[in-house]
Amino acid sequence: MMDDELVEVRFLVPQIQVELKYATADNFTGEVVYNFQECFLRKEVLLRLQNVQAELEIIGLGLKIWDGFRPIAAQWKFWELVPDERYVSDPSKGGRHTRGTAVDLTLVTQEGRELPMPSAFDDFSEKAHRNFRGATPEETANRELLQTVMEKHGFIGLPTEWWHFDIEGWEIYSPL
């Protein structure tokens, strides 16, 4: 049987930084979308992120999470604003974040400084695409490092968002 338990990130992997963008107005909606500060994910996702974090720490880096589990009401709000499946999952299909199997994140230094990436978070342009070639060499290297380490530990990146990763087999989990 599948584990339906959601676990708070900092409970299992306290080294991972959490800055939930949708718990503040600092996001593409300009509004607070959900009113909790804890980032929840399925336990299997967190165990894999724990391995990613450990590997990154060896080279002086770490993870910062911007979004994990997302309530279906938040998914509907995003869909109303951006009804484009390249960037927002259709909530009538359940959504990916609503399953607790998707995570939006970036790389940070040990001091917590975000590494340069080809675009900002929630940029709905080609700059956010994994195959965007107009980024600087440093931005491209950082994006590729994030993708390589995440894939090594069982994650699949969304082609249109360098920050979004789903656990392999996310489809078998039900929305929560």
Mean pLDDT of all residues in 139-144: 98
Q: Quick check: is 161 catalytic?
A: yes
Q: Is residue 123 part of a domain?
A: yes
Residue 89: predicted pLDDT: 85
Strand partners, 156: 166
Q: Is residue 76 part of a domain?
A: yes
Q: Is residue 174 part of a domain?
A: no
Q: Is residue 1 part of a domain?
A: no
Instruction: Report which of residues 75 and 151 the model is more confident about.
Output: 151
Residue 1: predicted pLDDT: 36
Q: Which of the following is catalytic: 19, 44, 139, 161?
A: 161
Residue 169 gets the label, from left (phi > 0), alpha (psi -120 to 50) or beta, of left
CA 119 to CA 2: how far, in whole Å?
36
Domain of residue 38, CATH code:
3.30.1380.10
66-98 pLDDT, tens digit each: 999 999 989 998 899 889 888 888 888 878 899
Q: Which domain holds residue 120?
A: 6-169
Mean pLDDT of all residues in 153-166: 97
pTM for this entry = 0.94
Q: Is residue 175 part of a domain?
A: no
Give the chain's domain count: 1
Q: Is residue 62 part of a domain?
A: yes
Amino acid at 159: P
